[in-house]
Each structure stands twice: as C-alpha cells, then as structure tokens.
Amino acid sequence: MDGGLKLFGKIGKNTSVGTLGTYHRNNQNVILQASQSLTVTSNISAALLSHHHRDTGANNVGYLSGDVRHGKFSVGSNLTQTWADESDGRNGFISLGYNGSLFQPYLSAFFVDPDFVNRLGYRPFTGYRGIGLGSFIRNEWREGLFRRASASIQSQISNTYEGKVFRRDFYVSSLVLMHSDYALAAGWRGGQFEEFNDSVFSVGLRARASDRFNNVGVTYNWGEQASERIHRISGSLNLHAYGFTAGLSSQIQWHFETRYQQIFTLTYDFSPALSLGSRLIWQVEGVNIYFALRRSGYAGTDFFIILGDPNASEFKQRFVAKVIRAF
C-alpha cells in the first residue's frame, strides 16, 4: 500500500508553486517547487527534493534553473546540487542559442561530478564534462511538391574528470514532408563511447504524417553499435473511428541477441472528458496488460483509475486511483 498527495497552483500573476509527497513503507519523498516569471521572456525556477529510503538513507537534491530570451538569442541554464552521506556532487548545464528564420544554431556546456547522487533521477553515468554544438535548419513552402523540410547537425564531446575519452557523439537527421502528407526521414548517428564505436543509419517512411489519429509508418536502422552489428525494424499503425482509437507498434532488433516488442492500445471515448482504455505489451520478458479509466480535461474533479502496472514485464495485480480537484 502506498499513497501520494500533490498540490500546485499560482499565488500571484507570475508565481507558481507546487508540492508533492509520497509514502511507502520503505521510502518517503517530498518535493517543493516554485517558478517566477521575471519578464515576458525570462523566468527562474527552483526545487527541493527530500528522499529517504530505509536501506540507503537520506538523499536531498536542490535544483535551480533560469531562461532568458532577447531578440533571436536565448540563454538557458540549470544547476543541481545533491547531498547523500559524504557525497555533495553537482550537475550543471548552460546553453546559448540563436533562433533564426532558417538556421537555429546552439552551443552548450555541461558537467556531472563523480559524487553526484540522485537516487530518484536517471543518471547512469557520472564524472564527465564537455560541450555540445549543433544547428537546426527548417523551411516551409505553400505550393509545390514539398510542404516542409528540416535537418539537424548535432555533436557532443565529453571527457572524464581524469581526461580520458567519455563520449564522442555525432548526429545528422533530415525530414521531408510532402503536400500529399507523406514524410520521409533519414539520419545517421555515430561516434565513440569509452572504448566502443557506433555508426548507425536510419531511414523511415510515414503516410498521413500530419494526422495523429490515422497514420502508418515504418523505420529501418542498421550499422554498428557498441562495436557490434545491429539491425532494427519498427512499424506503427494508428486508426480512429466511431469513438474507438487503436494503435499497434512493433519492433524487432538483432544486436547481440534477438529482441522484440509489440504494443497494442485500444481506447474508447465515451465523451471528450471520459475514456476507457487498455494496453497490451508483448516482449521477450513476458506479456503485460493494464486497463485505465480517465475522466479529465474539463471543469470539476478529474480522476484516473488504473488496474495493473504499466511498467511491469508481466501482468501485476495492482489498483491505482488518482484524484485531482481544483479549488
């Protein structure tokens, strides 16, 4: 048995606050958050997380971020400080960007201390620092064969605190959307992670690309990842009719071993505010299914009821109820 309570809202025209508390017999968590709009184009945010686990003890995390935009230039930054036992590591990021009508280049810098500890956050690696550099390109046409074309070139270079190579990541992507609503995408990601080399190509095609309810797509990836050959085929199909929304996605990957995952989702909308849905996940680890009833999106009390566990590898007897009330 576990539970939680979340309160959030505005205490002024430009000030938002929120708090979240969760309880389980093995761990308890409290989060406090506040954000302030300084001007139309600038804001700051701060948060404090206190996590206590019966086995690992206390882990406190402080977070501060800020964003400002002037003309076509923008600057964003954040700093996270953690405390856990004898550790007091930090994680920081800053980025400078230019939002032009055709080109949108950016430059960033980041670091993660070796003793950075956030047990509720996903940080698989620590002890590295580096820079990122890239640009986005985009253009649109009202007439002709093409409706929109976009491309991006991104890179990330980082070393460990001891000066060894941590990651060399390079990424090139492109997307062409036609007026017939077909989309063609192609890309390449390569580089180095520690002693392993990557070079993976991708190509994809989607029909009815701008229709989020009725569309179909397929993607193929091939190349080398972690110095081993990789092939991946994935596809998706989404349909909407008579209040029902159905979605099917499938992926098969050959890399070290063969892995697969199929996901089937079916939802019925009784009204714009009320729906009943289910999702079936079939993968190597097993088959999982869960059901969800949602009432939200309009004035009054919102509630969500979930039978099963969406994150489990197999069906789990679990009942979750969530209630949101505005006041």
Q: How confident is the model over 81-140, as pLDDT tens digits?
A: 999 987 889 999 999 999 998 899 999 999 999 999 998 888 889 999 999 999 999 999
What band does 3 get if pLDDT is binned at 50, 70 and 90? confident
Q: What is the SS3 assignment for 149?
A: strand
Name the most confidently modeled range: 1-15, 230-244, 299-313. 230-244
**Residue 301 predicted with pLDDT over 90:** no
- What is the residue range of 151's domain? 127-221+230-251
Residue with tokens 């093995």: 26
Q: CA–CA separation, 256 vs 254, rounded Å? A: 7
% of the chain residues with pLDDT over 70: 98
User: Does residue 78 lie within any of the structural domains?
Assistant: no
User: Does residue 143 lie within any of the structural domains?
Assistant: yes
Give the HSE-up count for residue 152: Cα atoms under 13 Å, Cβ half-sphere: 15
Given a contact cutoff of 8 angstroms between Cβ atoms, the answer to whether 266 and 249 are in contact is no
User: Does residue 258 lie within any of the structural domains?
Assistant: no
Q: How confident is the model over 197-216, as pLDDT tens digits?
A: 999 999 999 999 999 999 99
- Which residues in 2-20 are b (16+ Cβ under 10 Å) and which e? eeeeeeeeeeeeeebeeee
Given a contact cutoff of 8 angstroms between Cβ atoms, the answer to whether 40 and 32 are in contact is no
How many CB atoms are located within 10 Å of the residue 221 CB? 20
pLDDT score at 24: 87
pLDDT score at 324: 81
| Cα dihedral sign, 324-78-136-219 | negative
User: Does residue 131 lie within any of the structural domains?
Assistant: yes
What band does 280 get if pLDDT is binned at 50, 70 and 90? very high
Q: CA–CA separation, 170 vs 177, rounded Å? A: 24
The C-alpha angle with vertex 35 and arms to 30 and 36, in degrees rounded to 5, equals 155
How far, in Å, are 77, 97, 106, 110, 147 from residue 71 at the CA level?
18, 11, 15, 25, 27
Q: CA–CA separation, 96 vs 81, rounded Å? A: 22
Strand partners, 234: 219, 251
Q: How confident is the model over 32-61, as pLDDT tens digits?
A: 999 999 999 999 999 999 999 888 889 999
**Residue 1 predicted with pLDDT over 80:** no
173 conformational bin, left if phi > 0, alpha if psi -120 to 50, beta if neither = beta
Q: Give the count of domains, the chain.
A: 1
User: Does residue 213 lie within any of the structural domains?
Assistant: yes
Q: How confident is the model over 152-170, as pLDDT tens digits?
A: 999 999 999 999 999 999 9
pLDDT score at 145: 92
Q: How confident is the model over 215-239, as pLDDT tens digits?
A: 999 999 999 998 899 999 999 999 9
User: Does residue 119 lie within any of the structural domains?
Assistant: no
User: Does residue 206 lie within any of the structural domains?
Assistant: yes
Q: How confident is the model over 249-274, as pLDDT tens digits?
A: 999 999 988 999 999 999 999 988 89
User: Does residue 237 lie within any of the structural domains?
Assistant: yes
pTM above 0.95, yes or no: no
